Structure formats: C-alpha cells, structure tokens
Amino acid sequence: MIGKMNFSLEVGPHTDLDTLPPVKDVYITMLPGGDYKETSEKADALVKKGFNPVPHFPARSINDEAQLKDYISRCKDVGTKQALVIGGSRDPIGKFDSSIQILETGFFDGIKIGIAGHPEGSQDMSDTKLEKAMVDKKPYADYIVTQWLLDSQTIVDFISKQSVPVHVGITGPMKITSLIKFANIVGAKNSINFLKSNFSKALDLLKPKDPNELIGKVKEFTDNFHIYTFGGLKETNKWLKENGYV
C-alpha cells in the first residue's frame, strides 16, 4: 500500500544549504574531477542541519581501495547512514570501472545502499550489459534511484520488474527547452520523444513544465520521488510548497 509521498533531492558540494526545502534526504553529487573530501564535508554540514545526507560514490572517480575506505570513513564519521553507489560518467581514474567492484569490497557494511536504475537505457553501456549489471548489484541494494524521465509507462514497467523499492527520478519545474537539453545529455530517448510529441506548440515550450502529471500517473506504484533540480532549487522549493508536498 502506497502511503505519504517522500521527496529527496540532489545538491552539489557547493550548494547553499539555506536554500534547501524541508525534505529529509539530500543527495550530494561527486562530479567527474570532484574531490570526495568536499562531498564528505557537505555530508557533515547536512547532518548538522538535521538532514539525512546521501553522498554519491561514483566508482570510476575513485582511485583504489584506500581512497574508497577513506571516503566511506569520512562519511560514516560525520553520521552518514546512506549512500548512492554508481558507476559514474567518466573513464576510470583508477582501478574501479563499475559500481559492483566497489560494492564487493564490503566497505559499505552498515550503510543503506541505493543503486542507479536506467529504465530508458544508458549511453555508457549496452542494454544487455546494463541488465547484467543490475542483476549483479541487486543483492547489495536496498533500493533503486532511476535516471530522470517523463514517460510514465516506462517507469511503471520498470518498477514492476524490481524486487526492491524504486525512487523515481523527476525534474523540478523547468522549461521544455531545458528539459530537452538535459534529456540529450543523459540519453533519455523515450523522454525526448515524449517531449517532442507532446509539446509541438511554441507557446508550450516557453512555459515551465512541472512533474505533477507524471507523479499522478505513477504514485500508485511508488511513493518515493528523487528530484534532479539542475540548479533550479528556488523553483523546486516553491513547487514543493505550493503543492503541499512538504
């Protein structure tokens, strides 16, 4: 039975925390070239403000076991209880080239683990490889966070195949032109087609689109939604409050 909806969102290591809406779970990105120490420091700041930080652990951006151990220790030491373990969108800088490798180290013991789900496929690997990776990672996962998408049927089909809870990736309110730009970056094929077929009028393209319709279509299958704000934290905050979500 689906209960109250839970929203989480994503920030960068330099996001001003005073601008955050009152959601509990706040994910912290570690982008290619980023420093894991900054991400763990942000986790510390979030704990102090009463949030539940969920740092990203991108395997391909981590050098080796020693660095992974240090990163996890720093996060645990400041009170982190949850992590999102992903492959990351870059060439490996060290010995890890997939999330399963860092999960198999056993270093995440005692931490709630989220893994990435790609209902529309991934630019980084074939569907067959993606399927295999999912099977390999499942035993370690407490839940799945999907890439953001707009096609509700794709999401519902994906959720029906999973054995752990799915947190559906959505965007905050955003202009269609921006959505198309970001969809191209992540290779969200179905969502690009959805946008192009549903918003043909120039007027539509200029109006911000919010995720209410999508939430309405999938909320009977999940009560967890993960917001990718793409820097639009103010608009996301306003939207969450106006709709009574927080």
Q: Which residue has the higher pLDDT, 197 or 110?
A: 110
> What is the average per-residue pLDDT within 51-62?
96
Q: Is the per-residue pLDDT at 1 higher than 50? A: no
Binning pLDDT at 50, 70 and 90, where does residue 187 land? Answer: low
pLDDT digits (tens, 9 = 90+) for 118-138: 888 777 778 888 888 888 999
pLDDT value of position 7 = 96
Percent of the chain scored above 90 by pLDDT? 62
> What is the average per-residue pLDDT within 192-219?
74
Percent of the chain scored above 70 by pLDDT? 89
pLDDT value of position 232 = 83
pLDDT value of position 52 = 98
Total-model pTM? 0.89
- E-strand spans in the chain? 6-11, 25-28, 52-58, 82-86, 112-117, 143-148, 166-171, 174-175, 208-209, 224-228
- The CA distance from 239 to 246, in Å, is 10
pLDDT value of position 78 = 97
> Distance of CA 123 to CAs 117, 118, 141, 188, 194, Å?
13, 10, 22, 9, 18
Q: Please state, rounded to an integer, the average pLDDT across all residues of the chain.
A: 88
